[in-house]
Amino acid sequence: MKREDLYDLAAFSVVAEKRSFTRAAAELGMSQSALSHAIKSLEERLGVRLLSRTTRSVSATDAGERLLRSLQPALEEIASSVDAVGAMSGTPSGTLRLTATVHALRAVVMPRLPAFFASHPDIRLDIIVDDNLIDIVAERIDAGIRFGDIVEKDMIAVRIGPDVPMIVVGSPSYFARYAAPETPRGLSEHRCINYRLLKTGGFYAWDFEEQGRPFQVRVEGPLSFNNSDMIRQSALEGHGLAYVYVDEVAYDVAAGRLIPILQDWCPTFPGYYLYRSSRRQTPPALAALIDVLRHRSR
């Protein structure tokens, strides 16, 4: 195999997975015109069309799908071999691609980055912020960070954070107008701020517990967001009740800007875990990150 064939095959794999020359070019760090030329040259050498292109989308042809199925394991094996060779240098380096939620980054990852970069200056992090579960294998992402109870069983997971308690809060101005509900079921009579789930299009149902038994309450109100910072801000301004992580509003509660309610009913979620595919060896750079993030009980 010629060297240019390997480069072009790797480029084809990314385009086929991303279904976009724009996104693929950004990931590969090359121009769209150069990427398009590489794919065209590969198709000419193979004598078959690999991608169907329209003005709005890109998809693999039947021949392209067949090639992709055999190509991906080979590329993953090459990546594992490169990682193994890199480990022999004794100095972890390279770029790690991660996916995490905003809260996971804020609560667990960001506070530990100064120590991580001080110890590993040759490692770069490319972080995709997303509250939805991303297929890290299909998207060629090194690792994800989510709550432990939603990590798929076929993944290798390492705990990196403590349990996370939830809380319902409202502003003093809100409670001057509305009496606090005595139970979660009383929330149906209140103005609540919903969290929009972009993947499903629905709203997040608020989780509660009664004598150890979990249940959910669907709420209604004048506002909905897919951003936790805006939910907190709206609660501070008295627009409604908010269901949030305790650490997100700890200072507001301590200052009296927000008042907690239904505390005996609010659950505690299992801590965050960093998870990775079991199909590949752990790259040295990822092993270094796991070592820094690993949760150590006190």
- Residues 13 and 36 reside in one and the same domain: yes
Q: What tokens appear for 8 in the block? A: 């072009």
Please give the distance of CA 67 from its chain centroid, rounded to a whole number. Answer: 29
More confident residue, 185 or 71: 185
SS3 assignment, position 15:
helix
Inside any domain, residue 210: yes
Inside any domain, residue 227: yes
Predicted confidence (pLDDT) at residue 162 exceeds the cutoff of 70? yes
Report how far residue 19's alpha carbon sits from residue 190's, in angstroms, rounded to the nearest whole number: 44
Please give the distance of CA 247 from its chain centroid, rounded to a whole number. Answer: 19
Please give the distance of CA 6 from its chain centroid, rounded to a whole number. Answer: 30
| Predicted pLDDT of residue 79 | 62
Q: What is the mean pLDDT of the chain?
A: 85
Predicted confidence (pLDDT) at residue 88 exceeds the cutoff of 70? no
pTM (global) more than 0.75: no
Of 129, 163, 137, nearest to 148 by C-alpha is 163
Report the range out of 5-19, 23-37, 205-219 with the highest average pLDDT.
205-219
Q: What tokens appear for 26 in the block? A: 């950004």
Cβ pair 273, 148 in contact under 8 A: yes
**CATH number for position 102:** 3.40.190.10
Report how far residue 5's alpha carbon sits from residue 119's, in angstroms, rounded to the nearest whole number: 38
Inside any domain, residue 87: no
- Residues 51 and 189 reside in one and the same domain: no
- Residues 169 and 258 reside in one and the same domain: yes
The model's confidence at residue 86, banded by pLDDT at 50, 70 and 90, is low
- Residues 140 and 280 reside in one and the same domain: yes
- Residues 99 and 68 reside in one and the same domain: no
Q: Position of tokens 């092993």? A: 287
Predicted confidence (pLDDT) at residue 255 exceeds the cutoff of 90? yes
Cβ pair 257, 240 in contact under 8 A: no
Question: What is the average pLDDT across 192-211?
Answer: 89
| Predicted pLDDT of residue 181 | 95
Q: How many domains are there within the chain? A: 3
Q: What tokens appear for 282 in the block? A: 């752990």
Report how far residue 158's alpha carbon sits from residue 65's, in angstroms, rounded to the nearest whole number: 34
- Residues 110 and 182 reside in one and the same domain: no
Inside any domain, residue 86: no
- Residues 257 and 206 reside in one and the same domain: yes
Cβ pair 129, 101 in contact under 8 A: yes
- Residues 117 and 247 reside in one and the same domain: no
Question: What is the average pLDDT across 41-52?
Answer: 84
Question: What is the average pLDDT across 270-290?
Answer: 83
Question: What is the average pLDDT across 78-106?
Answer: 73
Domain that holds residue 278: 94-162+272-293
Q: 138-154 pLDDT, tens per residue?
A: 777 889 999 877 777 77
Inside any domain, residue 279: yes
Q: 174-183 pLDDT, tens per residue?
A: 999 999 999 9
Read off the amino acid at residue 58: V
Who's near 75: CB < 8 A, 6+ residues apart?
Answer: 9, 10, 13
Q: Position of tokens 């993953």? A: 76
Q: What tokens appear for 53 in the block? A: 């292109």
Inside any domain, residue 111: yes
- Residues 132 and 122 reside in one and the same domain: yes
More confident residue, 39 or 245: 245
Report how far residue 25's alpha carbon sits from residue 121's, in angstroms, rounded to the nearest whole number: 26
Inside any domain, residue 23: yes
SS3 assignment, position 212:
coil
| Predicted pLDDT of residue 192 | 97
Inside any domain, residue 298: no
User: DSSP secondary-structure letter at 200?
Assistant: T
Of 123, 122, 154, 125, nearest to 137 by C-alpha is 154
At 79, which helix (H) or strand (E)? helix 62-87
More confident residue, 189 or 212: 189
